[in-house]
Amino acid sequence: MPKLLIATNNPGKAAELRVLLEGCGWDIVTPADIGIELNVEEDGETYEENARKKALAGAKASGLVALADDSGIEIAAMGGEPGVHSARFLGDEATHGERFAEIDRRLADLPKDQRSCRFVCVMAVADPASGETKTAEGEVRGIVADRPRGESGFGYDPIFWLPHHSATMAELPEHEKNIISHRARAAAIARQTLKELLHAHKEDDPSHVRH
C-alpha cells in the first residue's frame, strides 16, 4: 500500500485527517512517522496558496504523495477576519483563550443575527512525480458563540456555534463532526483525487500486477 503523507505538525489535525481519510487505500503517515521535519511559512494570501505550499513541501521532502490543508474562521462582523490568518491571529504565541477573548470583545453586545461566521478548509494533494497539485474546498456556516463550549476538537471549534445542532463544533460527537465539518467536506472531495492517484501508482508499480 503506497504511503500518503499528511503534511502537518498539528497532532489534532493529523488525527482528524486520519479518520476522515480512513479506507482511502493509502497508508497514512505523518512527518514524525517518517522522521522528517516540515517548517513551512504560511505566508500565502489565500487558503489555497498555503495548502498548495505545504503539500508541495511535504511531497518534496518525503518523495511521497502529500496532502495538506489550510483553514480558518471568517467572522462577518470583523470583515472576514481572522480568515487565512486564523492560526496566527494576535501573533504566533497567542493562546486560543486570548483569541476567543479578543473576538468576544469585538463582538460585544451584537445580537445573534450579527454574529455569523463560517469555517473554510482548502485541501491540496501534491504528487511528487508530476509536481502537480489538486485542491478541494469545504465550508460550514454558523454563529460565534457567546462563550467557549465543549472539550472536543481543536482551534476555534469551541466558539463555532451550529444552530441546527444546538451545539458548538467542540460539543459534537466526533462521528457527527466528521460528517458536517468544513474539513470533512473538503476531504470527501479530496478522496476522489487520492483514488485517481492510487490507480496511477498501481499502474506504475509492477508489484501490484497479479500473477
> What's the pLDDT band for 210 if we cut at 50, 70, 90?
very low
Nearest C-alpha neighbor of 34 from the set 59, 17, 12, 15: 59
Mean pLDDT, rounded, of the chain: 92
Q: Which helix (H) or strand (E) holds 59?
A: helix 47-62
- Cell numbers for 33, please give them: 512517522
Residue given cell 474562521 in the structure block = 73
Number of continuous H segments (helices) and E segments (strands) in the chain:
5, 7
Q: Tell me, what DSSP letter sits at residue 17?
A: H
Could you state, in order of their start, the residue ranges of all structural domains in the chain? 3-208
Compute CA distances 6 → 13, 28, 45, 62, 151, whole Å: 9, 7, 22, 11, 24
Residue of 27, 33, 70, 92 marked catalytic: 70
> Angle at which helices 11-20 and 182-204 pack, to 10 degrees?
70
> What's the pLDDT band for 202 if we cut at 50, 70, 90?
low
Give the CA-trace dihedral at 73, 142, 20, 9, to 10 degrees.
20
Pairing of strands 3-6, 27-29: parallel
Q: What would the mean pLDDT of 151-173 be, rounded to a whole number? A: 94
pLDDT given for residue 211 in this prediction: 36
Kindly report the CATH number that applies to the domain delimited by 3-208.
Answer: 3.90.950.10
pLDDT given for residue 208 in this prediction: 45
Phi-psi region of 23 (alpha: psi -120 to 50; beta: other; left: phi over 0): left
61: number of CA atoms within 13 Å, CB side?
23
Q: Which pTM was predicted?
A: 0.90
Cα–Cα distance between 68 and 51 in angstroms, integer? 5
CA 41-44-49 angle, 5° bins: 105
Note if 27 is an active site residue.
no
